[in-house]
Structure 1
């Protein structure tokens, strides 16, 4: 490859990394880490966590009927999937069930929740966390408040109709947020969840590359971002799970990661 072309590619990659860092920073907005959420848990939070089986001090029960996890002691990490459900989501659920791994699914309403109601119901029934990724994946920071409210409310309503429950978590497309997004999220009872590891699986079908990118970025109290709608992602998941289990990680949902603290509506959470 010519040197000038290599230089241009390196520069573009550096710009992309810088842009991602700015995005994950929530445009300069304050964020709360999982550890900080756990540290500030009140006695009432701890009692409710025990009652709900979200863990905390080793109490309650975890996803799938197993013991709850205390992430102050365990090396926890949360596996999350955006923009589904899709055609490969049932296969992903088979893998998660076989590995006894809970996950958090940030679902898109239009063309996904509406198209795959049985899969949405299965996600909830198998103990995973069902969350909101907007209706049509528009950048929320570019919208007016009424438009933000519509993007989130339509998906809230669609999920509630299928599962009987409203999500309490949302993930903004591209991680883009501002004060209006936070205000509307708070109004709708939604906490905003960002991430610490991404495979950029929208840009490759190489499952081994997706796996290596996630494993390289994994860390305690981390939140992994993947998409179950891209061809290379679901085949990469078994390898990711096996490698991280070998490294001593315990997989949890996002609420379990924060427990006995809880995700406050409108607040932004990021490892």
Structure 2
């Protein structure tokens, strides 16, 4: 998943392709998931509950969440320009090594412009392959790096390739991190065709969807403006992941994933 070393990128892409179906299934891991509807239902109708302001009520409005993994990268400032112009909030799951530590000003800009900043580990290790101290190190190093830049520790994380289990959930709970998966992926790690990326997202879009994209791949950022324009035309309201769950709050250790539409 790293752009800076072509051989590593090809190897990571092969791994992602080989596990794409597993990442969405999770059945073999025996991990229960919570939908955005479940999170809102658990919280009831109390508008004062929770720390997330009720900018929109996703129980009544057709909401959708854009999320970007594995950045920031060289194209992220251009993506932030697009999001600012179109007044769309997003959730960024950031990698620590050679990303957060390489682009601190971009991370600071994300926070300053109201995007949700979340954790995608330090070096994109598959967490289910690690022992608990290694999982903790992967998450803590990125927590600390983001807090040093923004003044705030993330409350959300996305396990690489969507792979989680009880061990990952327990460490996440200890660190105050909820796990966020997705229901729509453009598989932009496998193509530079922006039109194909756009079409895959639009074909999968549904109410309460969480869309997975990567701002480190060449075809992705050019696909974002037409994705936003078409989804707005269809009546969707863009929200961050915490807004999607509000008035519910993401519970540390829990795994959130929308049902596919």
For residues 256 and 106 of structure 2, what CA distance do their matches in structure 1 show? 27
Aligned to 1:222: 209
Root-mean-square deviation (Å): 1.5
For residues 121 and 222 of structure 2, what CA distance do their matches in structure 1 show? 26
Q: Deviations over 1:53-96 (max 9, x none)?
A: 521xxxxxxxxxxxx11000100000000000000000000000
Matches within 5 A, 1:10-49: 20-26=20-26, 27-41=29-43, 46-49=47-50
The Cα of 1:17 is off from its aligned counterpart by: 9.0
Aligned positions, number: 241
The Cα of 1:106 is off from its aligned counterpart by: 0.1
2:66 match: secondary structure: strand
For residues 76 and 128 of structure 2, what CA distance do their matches in structure 1 show? 29
Q: Deviations over 1:200-219 (max 9, x none)?
A: 10110000000000000000
CA contact (8 A) 2:122 2:139 kept: yes
The Cα of 1:243 is off from its aligned counterpart by: 0.7
Q: Deviations over 1:105-137 (max 9, x none)?
A: 000000000000000000000000000000000
For residues 158 and 124 of structure 1, what CA distance do their matches in structure 2 show? 14
Instruction: Note the residue ranges of structure 1 that are not aligned, 5 or more in a row.
Output: 1-15, 56-67
Q: How does the TM-score come out when normalised to structure 1?
A: 0.86
For residues 69 and 136 of structure 2, what CA distance do their matches in structure 1 show? 19
Aligned to 1:171: 158
Structure 1 pair 17–72 and aligned structure 2 pair: CA distance change class (3 A): farther
For residues 193 and 95 of structure 1, what CA distance do their matches in structure 2 show? 24
2:177 to 190, 198, 207: 190
Q: How does the TM-score come out when normalised to structure 2?
A: 0.89
Aligned to 2:53: 54
Find the structure with the greater CA-based Rg: 1
